[in-house]
Amino acid sequence: MTTLQITDVMIPDRLGTPEAADFEAAIAVRTAVNAHDSGTNDEARPPEEMLPTWRKQEHEPKRMVLAREGETVLGRGVIEYRLGDAVDTTWLHVEVLPEHRGRGVGRALAEWLLDIATADGKSKAIVYAPSWRVGGARLDAPTGFGDVPADTAETRLLLSLGFRLEQVERGSRLPLPLDRAVLERVRDDAAQAAGPDYRVHRWGDHTPEQWQEDLAHLLTRMSTDAPSAGLDEGEDPWTVERLLEDEQLEAEGPRTGFTAAVEHVPSGRLVAFTTLYAPAELDRPADQEDTIVLREHRGHRLGMLVKAENLLALDELRPGHPAVVTYNAEENRHMLSVNEALGFAPFVYEGAWRKDLEPLR
């Protein structure tokens, strides 16, 4: 393709202005690609919902590019960075509109992003690529858990660029509403098994001051304690300052947050939490975000306790969403067991791919 142009997308402060046009076009690519590939609108997110994430630049720097031919948008690319131990890593993502696939746009965008990563001195790139095709020849994850199709566009493109499959993630969906009485029983049984040393708390968009320090610690541990196979994603440090900034930016967007957490009563510290985000539109699913039980407090049913408590909160405060969607590593048996017991069922598998980059000479 000789006329392909790739340009940076400016991240606007607000939407609906001429400066925001590229950002809105790039999010429209995301929506169209997801709707086409998944066959549902579950993953459609309006630009207002994406903007807070894109404005989190200080602790989660990222860039977005658009591929065009003349005035026609063909696709987009995303490159994300982290601080802390993962400062040597980038996360890349490429999406090409269905009607423009098979013409070299995906490869051009991927190579563009890899060049940026190399020029930035990064030593590895990671891609999470959803693979929707079921059946046919498969490529096994080296973890021994899960596989992806061996000959679809994303697999071929990533293999040809020198990526290797490290892990498979399972996307699962829990249809709502759940039977409240059943959910309360699940929550009460888990609370009884955990015993009097553990007490549940819940809150909305803003973490109470008393728990901010503990939540920052739990968020940091998310990056090191969740299984990440051979991806070596490294520690992503959270501070109270980052937590408050994150909450401030999210508050400017349309999502509502729900958090349930467990206090270890003898120490007065939080040792487990889970967060759900509900979109503004009631006909869209809620997103299950982070869940963690600190290693030293596992085996007390705290994972089930926080999840059941948070689903009860969602049902009380925002009834009507059709489902909750979550992503977990296929080898994360403890988390999958909790989710399966609640009724989550798989709807997609996602390959987590890694490429080690050659330093520039």
Which residues sit at the interface with ligand COA, rule CB under 6 A?
A: 33, 37, 93-96, 101-107, 127, 129-130, 151-154, 156-157, 160
Shortest Cβ 73–ligand COA spacing (Å): 13
Residues paired with residue 196 on neighbouring β-strands, in sequence order: none
Shortest Cβ 220–ligand COA spacing (Å): 28
Distance from CA of residue 337 to its chain's centroid? Answer: 20
Six-digit token string for 98: 């269905």
Three state DSSP letters for 257-273: EEEEEEEECCCCEEEEE
Angle, helices 302-317/333-342, rounded to nearest 10 degrees: 40
* Residue nearest ligand COA, CB atom distance: 106
Distance from CA of residue 31 to its chain's centroid? Answer: 16
Residue closer to ligand COA by CB (options 93, 301) is: 93
Shortest Cβ 159–ligand COA spacing (Å): 8
Residue closer to ligand COA by CB (options 96, 294) is: 96
Neighbours of 299 (CB within 10 A): 12
> Which run of H or E residues covers position 192?
helix 180-194
Q: Distance between CA atoms of 318 and 280, rounded to whole angstroms? A: 10
Q: 187 with 305: CB under 8 angstroms? A: yes
Residue closer to ligand COA by CB (options 37, 189) is: 37
Shortest Cβ 283–ligand COA spacing (Å): 24
For residue 50, give the nearest of 86, 26, 32, 66 by alpha carbon: 26
Shortest Cβ 294–ligand COA spacing (Å): 33
Residue closer to ligand COA by CB (options 133, 217) is: 133
Residue closer to ligand COA by CB (options 107, 206) is: 107
Strand, coil or helix: 173: strand
Strands (E), the chain: 4-8, 62-69, 72-81, 89-96, 124-131, 138-140, 147-149, 164-175, 198-203, 256-264, 269-278, 286-293, 323-329, 345-356
Residue closer to ligand COA by CB (options 78, 324) is: 78
Residue closer to ligand COA by CB (options 127, 293) is: 127
b/e map 230-239, b = 16+ CB within 10 Å:
ebebbebbbe
Residue closer to ligand COA by CB (options 160, 267) is: 160
Shortest Cβ 269–ligand COA spacing (Å): 40
Shortest Cβ 157–ligand COA spacing (Å): 4
Residue closer to ligand COA by CB (options 5, 337) is: 5
Six-digit token string for 352: 């987590």
Neighbours of 351 (CB within 10 A): 25
Residue closer to ligand COA by CB (options 130, 279) is: 130
Shortest Cβ 214–ligand COA spacing (Å): 36
Shortest Cβ 346–ligand COA spacing (Å): 18
For residue 218, give the nearest of 288, 139, 297 by alpha carbon: 297
Shortest Cβ 153–ligand COA spacing (Å): 4
Q: Which amino acid is at 168?
A: V
